[in-house]
Amino acid sequence: MMIKKIDKNQFKELFDKLKENYNIAAPVLIDKNKKTLVEYHYIDDFDKIDWDEQADSSPKNIIFPQNAPVGNDYKEKQYYDTEQDTLILGVRSCDIEAIKTLDQVFIEDEMYIDKNYKARRDKITLVGLSCPQRNKSCFCDTLGFNPVESNYAPLYIFKDGNEFWIKVKDKKFESVFENLPDGNQDKLEELIEKRINTFTESSFELDIPIPLPEKEMFEADIWEEMSEKCLGCGICTYYCPTCYCFNFIWEGKDGESTKYKNWDSCMFSTYSAHASGHNPRDSKEKRYRNRIMHKFSYHPLNYEGLGCVGCGRCIDRCPVNLDIREALKLTEKYLEEKGGAKSGKD
Amino acid sequence: MKKYEKITEEIVEIAEKLLKENTVEKVIGFGIGIFTEEVTPIFISNPENADRLVFNSKAEMSLAKYLLNYKDQKVAIVAKPCDSRAIATYLAEDLIKRENIKVIGINGCPGIENNTACEECDIRNAVISDYTVGKKMTEEEIEAKLKDKEDKIEKMTPAERMEYFQKEFERCTRCYACREACYVCYCEQCFTEGNQPEWVGDSVKLNDNFTYHLMRAMHMAGRCVNCGACEMACPEGIDVRALAAKMCRSAEELFDYRAGIDSDQKTLLSDYDVNDTESGFME
Amino acid sequence: MEKTDMLPHKAEVLEIKQETETNLNIKTFKVKFIDNDIRKNFNFKPGQFMMVTVYGLGEAPFGFSSSPTEKDYIEFSVKEVGLVTEALHNLKEGDKIGIRGPFGNGFPLDSTEGKNIIFIGGGIGLAPLRSMINYVLDEKNRDKYQRIQLLNAFRSPEDTLFCDDYQWWENSKDTLVKYTIDEPCEGWSKCVGYPHTLIAEELDYNLPDTRVFTCGPPIMIKFITERLQELGIEPSEIITTLEMRMSCGVGKCGRCNIGHYYVCKDGPVFTLEQLREMPDEY
Amino acid sequence: MNENNEFEPKIAAFLCTWCSYAAADLAGSSRIQYPPNIRVVRVPCTGRMDPFLIIKAFNMGADGILVSGCHPGDCHFLDGNLYARRRFVMLNEMMQYAGVEAERMNFTWCSASEGKRFAGVVEDAVENVKKVGPWQGFDGQGFSQEEGETTVEKV
């Protein structure tokens, strides 16, 4: 491992150097007529990067685009992105964990490897960014993630004012950073320590078993109350960094049609509707239950880790401010009243 | 701001009374979340919790739509003037029963933060109510509040307008928040959901996004009350309201029609007049 | 066939058979892969399913209704309900469709060996069972199983499926085949009534070591499983298949989950014992 | 495009079966010539016409549309066209506001006996659409002009 410490101007030089070999995406502030939002975009200009705000949409959009062609029927060939190597700068811990989840689902499962996803993912290098303080509604520390540091990114940045610490964890990248001034490891540890403390001060307590007991929670009577105000739009799933549900569709005429892998949302009623008209999840509380249970029970049962990383985007973006933390608190209360919570694995 | 606090107080008082007397089972209103300071819809059934109700400049949601979830229950609802118009439309379309709902109408609505629709709003008193809170605004007061803003889109050339909307709808992710937040959009099956016929494609492409927004606006013709909930809900900051707002203006100019003014009116497109205008027709 | 391949392989429609038309529109398609290698390497188990693509329109899951012992072709039966099924029904012989699969776990063939088998199929639910029936009645496999009994339930005489098979099913060694329709009907001399009411009187349900395979409309499965338990058959010996909306077939796209089980990956064949462990959402 | 490389628009014409469709028939049997640019969709009444059909026609690449029904008061179903009239006025307002040129949308009335008028209407409609040129789609990407020409997705 290598620790480097550079100032803004040095970083800018480094950025310009990296630009020659990589496409670089980073969170930038974008004027969207009625709103201004921070989003991941490909950029050329170092000064455009917004270091201070958590991005309003997740880097999922780059790795797993909303509409991705899978193949077509006239060439019988699959599409693989042959783009240049990409760096995604300024990915915070929650999003790194989320990408880890996506990797688990699409690459690390022996049963099915999404070749298109893999081809895209192989070209992408994550450059993490340590969170200096809590963002508006995030709670990744409550779920057991570390907002200040993550090991899944090969490169990790700690921004302190105009100074940048860079942790190079992958040997592959050492040559790029070799000539930069070294940073003092102890000083960095101090910074990390300080930041962790600011998070501990403002964290909220949650004591639920992971995975949630599947059958017990499924039959719980709290879902209607939780989802009463839910409108049933797809914002929470589209802006969620881990939501990966998708739909295959064919577009175009016979003989020249293309198969797409499109995002889908479990909050839509059409998501699980059969052609016969039967719908196993025909009401919004059932759909909401499925979303929460998928994140906290089904996903942990099928893979390691959680389906929610606590980035808080679903809370911020929700048009009726439906709060997943309230749902978790209600779950905690329910299980407590039931007398001792058991994990779904037992 | 004092106005909001006064309204809040009155709402709490009425809600508490209604629940205590068992006039209604539930009060649908605005409240504050447990973890955030954001306003969120809350559903109160215990009179002790009535003090959770608030009204402030961030109460941007249209609550009227929740009424459709409680069709057979007696409920009370806190209604901004635009929501009260929505309720009037529901009554006109025979979707809810008048005797089942108690409307706590807000008079002299001070407006919602960042909602551009409020700047154009000239109905600032509840059109339908069982209980009123706030102080009725007079014509002059409303006039004074109106921002004389000319519609910048109207002044553009067709090509510029097309470009403007292309730029807007390009960002649409088709999360359908505009649809779900809109009180007009209560169809059991939206035209986007069926595939026989397939009105709009599933993939998020500009051509289909544009089509979706046009079709939705067409469904809103003569029913939209221009409350701006769609625009507030849109996560991409798209000017979703523009098309529907234009429909409201056209309906008023061409047919002297405004949606949600009283609960007996026929909707614009389910009615006709022999002498209707033929504006835009061929010679 | 590679499991990770999300693109279908082209197949040609060899034959389309109109099974029923009056009440329900059901057709059986006989198809074969155009590519010889794929045809040779395509192995499936009864009870598994495939994703059938109508190019340019969409994909839908269908169970195999032919036996894997038939190497030259694959058959599946389609009831006209929605977009894809309608498009399939409009196909002509010689048209091309796409097939990927097989997916799912399939019926437990090995553990059933040496047992008595009862098949109870209702309507189009007979299709996946037919794959298994043809497999166990195949000369090569027949000796591995004990007595085989079939109870085929249909709405009316016009709705009977796979009529061409009846004769050889009936003529197979140690096999009992029964047919029933919902309402009495002129010219129908076989059983009448819902299948769960007929199990006790028409079938030898109390043979030792019996395993029951049932597939049909959800309401039929519900009554049959209840009745079978009353008759003392263990839940682990009652096997049924579920259907769900599916898109990927490999447990990723999310829509077919029941609890943390994915019907496309962990199913579609479940024992009643397993179903009881799962949340009630199907 | 025709031989002289002039733009020949494709116009989706929604004709009421009771009047305008018959008028088109009459125009044909009386050998009145009119431009071949319309693709006729026969509807039972203009009142039956979902405005979505018009939006969808543009979505699929029609350069313009023509809707023709019975004269107000003459509807086979008494008042179908009167409902339709309001609908088309509103649709027209919206489409123009969204940037679709007024010339692309042609609404008119034409009775079964007006074969000559129908030919005139089609001429006018074609003239109108020619004025504003080919429709580029809501996405401004254009449509391939030749029918049956393939558009292969670029990725």
pLDDT in tens, A22-38: 889 999 999 888 888 99
How many whole angstroms separate alpha carbon C153 and alpha carbon C196? 10
Inter-chain residue contact D153 with A79, CB threshold 8 Å = no
CB contact under 8 A, B231 and A319: no
Do residues C89 and C72 share a domain? yes
What is the rounded distance in angstroms from the CA atom of residue D117 to the CA atom of residue D28? 12
Mutate to test the interface with A, among C26, C89, C245 (most CBs of A within 10 A): C245
Q: Which residue reads 């107080």 in tokens?
A: B9
For residues B240 and B230, the answer to whether their CB atoms sit within 8 Å is yes
Q: Which residue has the tokens 């806190």?
A: B78
Q: Which of D51, D93, D99 sits opposite B162 (nearest CB)?
A: D99
Hey, which chains touch C, using 3+ CB pairs under 8 Å? Answer: A, B
Please report the pLDDT score of residue C24 as a whole number.
Answer: 84
Interface list for B 8-67 with D (CB within 8 A): none
Q: Are residues A190 and A260 in the same domain?
A: no
Chain D residues near residue B272 by CB distance under 8 angstroms: 79, 82-83, 85-86
Q: Is A322 found in the same domain as A256?
A: yes
Nearest to C243 by CA among C224, C220, C269, C223: C269
User: Two tokens at D20?
Assistant: 């305008």
- The distance of C81 to chain B (nearest Cα, Å) reads 11
Of A154, A67, A143, A62, the closest CA to residue A102 belongs to A62
For residue B198, how far is the Cα from the chain centroid? Answer: 28
Kindly report the nearest CA distance between residue B43 and chain D, in angstroms: 37
3 state SS of A155:
strand
Region label for B244, one of left (φ > 0), alpha (ψ between -120 and 50) or beta (otherwise): alpha
Indicate if C114 and C219 belong to the same structural domain: yes
Same domain, yes or no, for A63 and A94?
yes
Among B243, B190, B193, which Cα is nearest to B221's?
Answer: B243
Chain B residues near residue D106 by CB distance under 8 angstroms: 282
Provide the 10 A C-beta neighbour count for residue B228: 25
Across chain C, the runs of DSSP E, i.e. the strands, are 9-20, 26-33, 49-54, 58-63, 74-79, 96-103, 116-122, 148-154, 175-181, 191-192, 210-215, 238-241, 257-258, 261-262, 269-271
Tell me what pLDDT residue C265 has: 86
Is pLDDT of D150 > 60?
no
Whether C171 and C215 map to the same domain: the answer is yes
Instruction: Give the count of alpha carbons within 13 A of B182, CB side only.
Output: 25
Residue C175 forms part of a structural domain: yes
Q: What's the token pair of residue B142?
A: 């409303």
Give just the sign of the alpha carbon dihedral A101, A107, A108, A113. Answer: positive
Q: How far apart are CA A269 and CA A287, in angstroms?
A: 8
d(Cα A104, Cα C157) in Å, to the nearest integer?
A: 51
Whether residues C99 and C157 share a domain: the answer is no
Q: Does C244 touch chain A (CB under 8 A)?
A: yes
**Hunting for tokens 């031989």 — which residue is that?**
D3
Put simply, whether A114 touches C (Cβ < 8 Å) is yes
Query: CB distance from A275 to chain C under 8 Å?
Result: yes
CB within 8 A of C255, min separation 6: which ones?
Answer: A245, A247, A264, A266, A271, A272, C244, C245, C246, C247
Domain count, chain C: 2
Taking CA atoms, B113 is separated from A226, B58, B60, B228, in Å, by 27, 6, 8, 11
| SS3 call for B21 | coil
Beta-bridged to residue C213, according to DSSP, are C119, C239
Whether A71 and chain B come into contact, CB under 8 Å, resolves to no
Closest Cα in chain C, distance from residue A44 (Å)? 35
| D126, containing H or E segment | helix D115-132
Report d(CA A107, CA A117) in Å as an integer. Answer: 8
- The answer, for C53 touching chain A at a CB cutoff of 8 Å, is yes
Task: Find the residue in C nearest to A245 (Cα).
Answer: C253
Q: Do chains D and C touch (3 or more CB pairs under 8 A)?
A: no
pLDDT over 50 at A345, yes or no:
yes
Q: Which of the following CATH numbers is that of domain D11-132: 3.10.20, 1.10.10, 3.30.1490, 3.40.50? A: 3.40.50
In whole angstroms, how far apart are CA D108 and each of B279, D13, D22, D44, D105?
11, 11, 15, 16, 10
Asked whether residue A30 falls in the same domain as residue A56, the answer is yes
Q: Which residues of A touch C56 (CB under 8 A)?
A: 73, 250-257
Contacting residues for B115 by C-beta, under 8 A, at least 6 apart: B60, B228, B231, B232
Instruction: Please indicate, yes or no, if residue C57 is contained in any of the structural domains.
Output: yes
Interface contact A72-D150, CB threshold 8 A: no
Kindly report the length of chain C: 282
CA distance B56 to chain D (A): 34
Return the residue in B192, B198, B218 with the most chain D beta carbons within 10 A, the one to mutate for interface testing: B218
**How large a percentage of chain C has pLDDT more than 70?**
99
Question: Of B180, B186, B220, B183, whose CA–CA distance to B86 is shortest?
Answer: B183
| Summary mean pLDDT of chain A | 87
Å between B226 CA and nearest CA of chain C = 36
Is the confidence at residue C1, as pLDDT, over 60? Answer: no
Q: Is the pLDDT of residue D129 over 90?
A: yes
Q: Which domain holds residue C201?
A: 109-241
pTM of the model: 0.92
C-alpha distance from residue B71 to each of A288, B66, B75 (Å): 21, 9, 9
In tens, the pLDDT along D38-88 reads 999 999 999 999 999 999 999 999 999 999 999 998 999 999 999 999 999
User: Looking at residue A342, what is its pLDDT?
Assistant: 60
Task: Report how far residue B238's alpha carbon sits from residue B171's, in angstroms, rounded to the nearest whole number.
Answer: 7
| Same domain, yes or no: A234 and A281 | yes
Q: pLDDT exceeding 90 applies to what percent of chain A?
A: 24
Q: Are residues C132 and C79 in the same domain?
A: no
Residues of C in contact with A252 (CB under 8 A): 56
Chain C interface, best mutation among A247, A260, A261, A295, by max C CB count within 10 A: A247
Q: How far is D36 from chain A (nearest CA, A)?
A: 26
**Tokens representing residue C282 in the block:** 């199907």
Chain A nearest-CA residue for D148: A253
Instruction: Identify residues of D whose CB sits under 8 angstroms from chain B CBs.
Output: 51-52, 55-56, 58-59, 72-73, 79, 82-83, 85-102, 105-108, 121, 124-125, 137-141
C253 to A281: CB separation less than 8 angstroms, yes or no? no
- Please tell me the distance from the alpha carbon of residue C267 to that of residue B61, in angstroms, as a whole number: 43
Mean pLDDT of A282-299: 91
Of A201, A233, A255, the domain-final residue: A201
| Residue C178 · residue C150 · CB < 8 Å | yes
pLDDT tens-digit series, residues C39-71: 888 888 899 999 998 888 888 999 999 988 888
Q: Encoding tokens for residue B11?
A: 């709402």
How far is Cα C24 from Cα B51, in angstroms, rounded to an integer? 58
- Give C208: exposed, middle or buried? Use CB within 10 Å, 0-12, 13-18, 19+: exposed
Segment C214-220 mean pLDDT:
87
What sign results for the dihedral spanned by CA atoms C242, C246, C250, C256?
negative
Which one of A56, A238, A269, A285 would you mutate to disrupt binding with B, by most B Cβ within 10 Å of its Cβ? A238
Residues of A in contact with B232 (CB under 8 A): 319
- Report which of C76, B210, C87 is spatially closest to residue A257, judged by C-alpha positions: C87
- Whole-Å CA distances, D65 to B158, C166, D107, D109: 17, 57, 8, 14
* ipTM above threshold 0.85: yes
Looking at per-residue pLDDT, the higher value among C189 and A98 belongs to A98
Closest CA to A227 of A266, A255, A263: A266
Asked if D155's CB is within 8 angstroms of A74's CB, the reply is: no
Q: Is C239 left (phi over 0), alpha (psi -120 to 50) or beta?
A: beta
Cβ separation C55–A274 shorter than 8 A: no
Indicate if A32 and A125 belong to the same structural domain: yes
Tell me how crowded residue D4 is: count the other CB atoms within 10 A of its CB: 6
Q: Give the separation between CA C246 and CA C60, rounded to whole angstroms.
A: 7
- The whole-angstrom separation of Cα B258 and Cα B268 is 8
- Both tokens assigned to B107: 């008079």
Asked if D96's CB is within 8 angstroms of B250's CB, the reply is no
Same domain, A115 and A238: no
Q: How many CB atoms lie within 10 A of CB C252?
A: 21
The count of structural domains within chain A is 2
DSSP state of C214: E
Measure the CA–CA gap between B33 and D137, rounded to whole angstroms.
44
Tell if the CB–CB gap between A66 and B201 is shorter than 8 Å.
no
Measured between CA atoms, the residue of chain B closest to residue D72 is B274
A32–B236: do the CB atoms touch at under 8 Å? yes
The answer to whether B195 contacts chain C (CB < 8 Å) is yes
Distance, in Å, from the CA atom of A326 to the CA atom of A229, rounded to the nearest integer, reads 13
Does one domain contain both A112 and A254? no
State residue C169's pLDDT score. 86
Domain that holds residue A329: 214-337
Please identify among residues 237-276 of chain B the ones whose CB lies closer than 8 Å to any CB of chain A: 237-239
CA angle (D65, D67, D73) in 5-degree steps: 165
Mean pLDDT of A196-219: 86
Chains that touch A (3 or more CB pairs under 8 A): B, C, D
Per the CB < 8 A criterion, the answer to whether C215 and C125 are in contact is yes
Looking at the fold, whether A54 and A186 belong to one and the same domain comes out as yes
Interface membership of C13 toward A (CB under 8 Å): no
Read off φ and ψ for residue C151, nearest 5 degrees.
Answer: -125, 110
C222 touches chain A (CB under 8 A): no
Q: What is the DSSP string of D26-93?
A: HHHHTT----TTEEEEEES-GGG--HHHHHHHHHTT-SEEEEEEPPTT-BTTBSHHHHHHHHHHHHHH
Contacts of B116 in chain A (CB under 8 A): 34
Cβ of A37 within 8 Å of Cβ of B43? The answer is: no
Residue of B nearest to D74 (CA): B274
Judgement on whether residues C117 and C199 belong to the same structural domain of the protein: yes
- Strands B75-79 and B26-32, by their bridges, are parallel
D78: burial class by Cβ within 10 Å (0-12, 13-18, 19+)?
Answer: exposed
Residue in B163, B173, B179 to test binding to A, most A beta-carbons within 10 Å: B173
Largest CA distance in chain A: 66
Q: Determine how β-strand A163-168 pairs with β-strand A2-7.
A: antiparallel
pLDDT at B195: 80
Q: Do chains B and D touch (3 or more CB pairs under 8 A)?
A: yes
Which chain A residues are Cβ-neighbours of B34 within 8 angstroms?
323, 325-326, 329
Residues C89, C116: one domain?
Answer: no
For residues A273 and B195, give the distance between their C-alpha atoms in angstroms, rounded to a whole number. Answer: 12
Chain B residues whose beta carbon lies within 8 Å of the beta carbon of residue A270: 193
Q: Quickly tell me which residue has 């809170």 as its tokens.
A: B133
Nearest CA in chain D to A254: D150
Q: How far apart are CA B232 and CA B60, in angstroms?
A: 7
Does the CA dihedral A317-A322-A325-A328 come out positive or negative?
Answer: negative
Each residue's pLDDT expressed in tens, for chain B with a length of 283 residues? 578 889 999 999 999 999 999 999 999 999 998 888 889 999 999 999 999 999 988 898 889 999 999 988 999 999 999 999 999 999 998 899 999 999 999 998 888 888 888 888 889 999 999 999 988 888 888 888 887 667 888 899 999 999 999 999 999 999 999 999 999 899 888 999 888 888 998 888 899 999 999 999 999 988 999 999 999 999 999 999 999 999 999 999 999 999 988 888 888 998 999 988 888 888 7
A258 and A332 belong to one structural domain = yes
Whether residue A259 sits in one domain with residue A184: no
Chain C partners within 8 Å of B195 (Cβ): 58, 82-83
